[in-house]
Amino acid sequence: MTRGAKTQGQFRKVTFVLDPEEWHGYKTETVWAEAVATDRYRLRNTPFFAKGVSVEDVVRVRRQDGALFFDAVSISSGHSTYRVVVDKATESDVLEEYWLPLQTLGCTYESAEMNVLLLAVDIPPDVDIYAAYALLEKGESDSVWYFEEGHCGHLEACARADAT
């Protein structure tokens, strides 16, 4: 084992370098991950800003000044990630009404209060991505939230999107 390598089951933060020109303005994001092999970590929470990754993906990292930095996805988990920015005017009962059908499908989220309420939405591989996406679109068209794709991990949906 190399110096500084973590053994299976240990949690660390993996740093993702972001584009500071994006709407959020952050330069980096850290995501909790569990060591599964030398320089391989399974993401354990849904990223808010990092693109191209989802919870449960196994990523390869590089070490720099004692920190772990994302290098590449090693094994895709099949999860998809969407960012939902909730309109400030949205009442909590309205948000709950629009979220409930997504929850019923099997989606989950992590939230962060910034100058807006931000939801990092996880759509597991066994959830109908088209149904979930339609519900996200409905919330946006009804001005409850704005959403964007962080990562499409559902293979069939990604293949169709890449073909167009």
| Domains of the chain, earliest start first | 11-75 (no CATH), 80-163 (3.30.70.260)
CA distance 154 to 164: 16
pLDDT at 89: 83
**Mean pLDDT along residues 117-128:** 96
Q: pTM of the predicted model, to two decimals?
A: 0.85
Q: How many helices (H) and strands (E) does the chain have?
A: 3, 9
Q: What single string gives the DSSP state of each residue in 107-162? A: -EEEEEESSSEEEEEEE-TTS-HHHHHHHHHHHHHTTSEEEEEEE---HHHHHHHH
pLDDT at 33: 97
pLDDT at 161: 52
pLDDT of 143 > 60? The answer is yes
Over pLDDT 70: what percentage of the chain? Answer: 89
Q: How confident is the model at residue 164 (pLDDT cuts 50, 70, 90)?
A: very low
